[in-house]
Amino acid sequence: MRRSVGLALVMIVIVLIAVFVVDTEENIHAVAVRSWNLSDTGPSFVPELHDPILAVAGLSDRPSFGFAFSGGGTRSASATLGQLRALTALGWMRKARHISANSGGSWVTVPYTYLPMSLSEARFLGSYIPPHALTDDNLQPANIDELAFSTAIHGAGTIEELFEVGRGDEAYSDIVASIFLEPFGLHDNEKFFTFHRGALEASLTDNPTLRADNFQLVERADRPYLVITGVMLGQQMSEDPREYFPVEMTPLYTGIRNRVEFEKDDQVVVVGGGYVESFGYDSYEPERRLDNGRWSVQLTGSLLRGDKPIGDRYRFTLSDVIGTSSAAPLGTLSRNYIPNFLFPEFRHWSVDRDAIAAAPERVRREADEFQHGDGADMDNLSVTSLIARKTENIIAFVNTSTPFREPPTGCENVTDEYLTDDLISLFRPIDRLVHNVMFAEGDAGLRQICESFRQKKRAGEPLVHCQAYDVRKNDWYRVEPYRANVCWVYLDRVNNWMDSLAPGAGDLVADILDREGSFDNFPHYSTFAEHGVGLIDLDRERVVALSNLAAWTVLESADYIADSLESAALPVARNE
């Protein structure tokens, strides 16, 4: 009996030592973080432009100009790759203040933004191939460049990987990160992330236990500021759009702009209201305000709180960002009341701490763990983040699976049978997308887009339409009224591009022309499982063709876009 008790005591001591070693391995279970309450700063405040310490040098000197890359799995990733290729060639990337992206768009824009200086940007983006030069040899090249992003797309994983034992709600994020971040040295679940060296030094000053090598850093000074969109679900399972909240994940901060109260488990839960530094996201409610105005928080997974097993990671990483933004199945599970075991969950606390502290007891004080998923459940086009920043000139890439179809009775009543509902929802409420209306033009604005696309479709031209809009007040996204110039670039099988293909260039080129084989639904591939059991895989020839069609569309439309966004002062090669 005594021997058993002695062995038990020894085991307890060993476990306590192990817990102590794991929990203090780098002594990073608590951090001091900044937060921003937009009720105090004003809704137009964003730290990258306005914070006296963290503002990005030179960013406010750039034109009020940004790009929005939509979601859409590897279809969107392939198109986004080609669009980045063209924008870089035109010199437009270094002119922009912001990149906003969702889902498949985030798979490309995150590694593009954080691409190490030791790796070639040209290799990452790949070379542009004009339509007349496409052949079977470059659609299926013999030599594969492992540092080309296109290689990551067509080497993606399978559905079976999701169900590996022990990965839980980190499974999906880990898979997409191993595909889209690891080839470029960016898949490190032990590292936080930030934007510039000044922000890193400020974080280290506030947190003596942190080191520079605890962070991923943007190494290229010409990068626009990155905003990745997602959603947070207020309830574990819900089909109520009032319980889906838009999340912005950025290098400096993460959060929900709008402050919302709702009922959960017989309590009032408050979420949002502003931002917290990204390395402090997924943390418990603040313990205290420090002398320097920062909040002291424990990170989720701290063994001191006892809610995670030994070894669970508890850092909000780039893997979490792209996993959240592209977790499209989560919304479907929630709306059908199916529990989630595979997709991201993080702790969230409202930055409005003073109001919560003074609130009645029924208001929950503690941070709660919420499911986080694909921004497509709110704004798949990722345009709203740019509008919230009052971006005056926007190029919105609509990399949709819905081809534009000319309504047989004209453009008086545009529905999602003819135009993607993601675009329609910015002009009028549609189905579950009830919070997205941004433009005062309403149905008249949709008619103008439809008429423009109809004319260009008949002429065999790219579907690009530019127009000035009156942005209306939108409390759900905390948007204030202003005037915005927007160019919609709609993914399409453009006849002028098709007519430029060389008919004798090979069997694959012939398949593109004849809509056969891998190109039967080109370029509007499915978001998931287009390639059989591949979860997000897309054949090499499809990636090459789609990315170059997308690049050609931008280059072909460059004059029109530059003229329409005059105040952005975009350089472009003109034929006078």
pLDDT of residue 309: 45
- Which of 316 and 4 is assigned the larger pLDDT? 316
Q: Which residues contact 399 (CB under 8 A, 6 or more apart)?
A: 69, 70, 71, 72, 75, 76, 79, 80, 104, 105, 491, 550
Taking only the tens place, the pLDDT of each residue in 203-215 is 999 999 999 999 9
Contact 146, 78 (CB under 8 A): no
What is the band of 162 on the pLDDT scale with cuts at 50, 70, 90?
A: low
Residues linked to residue 228 through DSSP beta bridges, in sequence order: 101, 249
What is the band of 325 on the pLDDT scale with cuts at 50, 70, 90?
A: very high
| Gyration radius (Cα) of the chain, Å | 24
307, pLDDT greater than 70? no
Q: pTM to 2 decimals?
A: 0.92
Which pair of structure tokens corresponds to residue 520? 């039967």
Q: State the Cα angle at 458 between 457 and 459, rounded to 5°.
A: 90
3-state secondary structure of 99: strand
What is the band of 169 on the pLDDT scale with cuts at 50, 70, 90?
A: low
310, pLDDT greater than 80? no
Taking only the tens place, the pLDDT of each residue in 48-94 is 999 999 999 999 999 999 999 999 999 999 999 999 999 999 999 99
Q: Longest C-alpha distance within the chain, in Å?
A: 96
Residues linked to residue 371 through DSSP beta bridges, in sequence order: 233, 345
Task: Name the CA dihedral angle for 72, 73, 77, 80, rounded to a multiple of 10 degrees.
Answer: 10
Taking only the tens place, the pLDDT of each residue in 226-237 is 999 999 998 877
pLDDT of residue 528: 62
| HSE, side-chain direction, 13 A CA sphere, residue 254 | 30
Taking only the tens place, the pLDDT of each residue in 404-455 is 999 998 999 899 999 999 999 999 999 889 999 999 999 999 999 999 999 9
Contact 210, 203 (CB under 8 A): yes
- Which of 2 and 441 is assigned the larger pLDDT? 441
Q: What percent of the chain has pLDDT over 90?
A: 69
Which range scores top for mean pLDDT: 118-132, 362-376, 533-547?
A: 118-132
pLDDT of residue 14: 42
What is the band of 25 on the pLDDT scale with cuts at 50, 70, 90?
A: very low
Q: Which amino acid is at 331?
A: G
- Which of 535 and 382 is assigned the larger pLDDT? 382
- Which of 22 and 526 is assigned the larger pLDDT? 526
DSSP codes of every residue in 157-188:
-BGGGGG-TT-GGGHHHHHHHHHHTGGGT---
Nearest to 172 by CA among 358, 404, 387, 329: 329
What is the band of 108 on the pLDDT scale with cuts at 50, 70, 90?
A: very high
Residue 87: is it exposed, middle or buried by C-beta count within 10 angstroms (0-12/13-18/19+)? buried
Q: Which amino acid is at 438?
A: M
Q: Give whole-number Cα distances, 512 to 214, 455, 506, in Å.
A: 47, 24, 10
Q: For the chain, what is the mean pLDDT?
A: 88
Contact 418, 450 (CB under 8 A): yes
Least confident of 7-16, 553-562, 564-573: 7-16
Helix axes 73-90, 540-556, angle to 10 degrees: 40
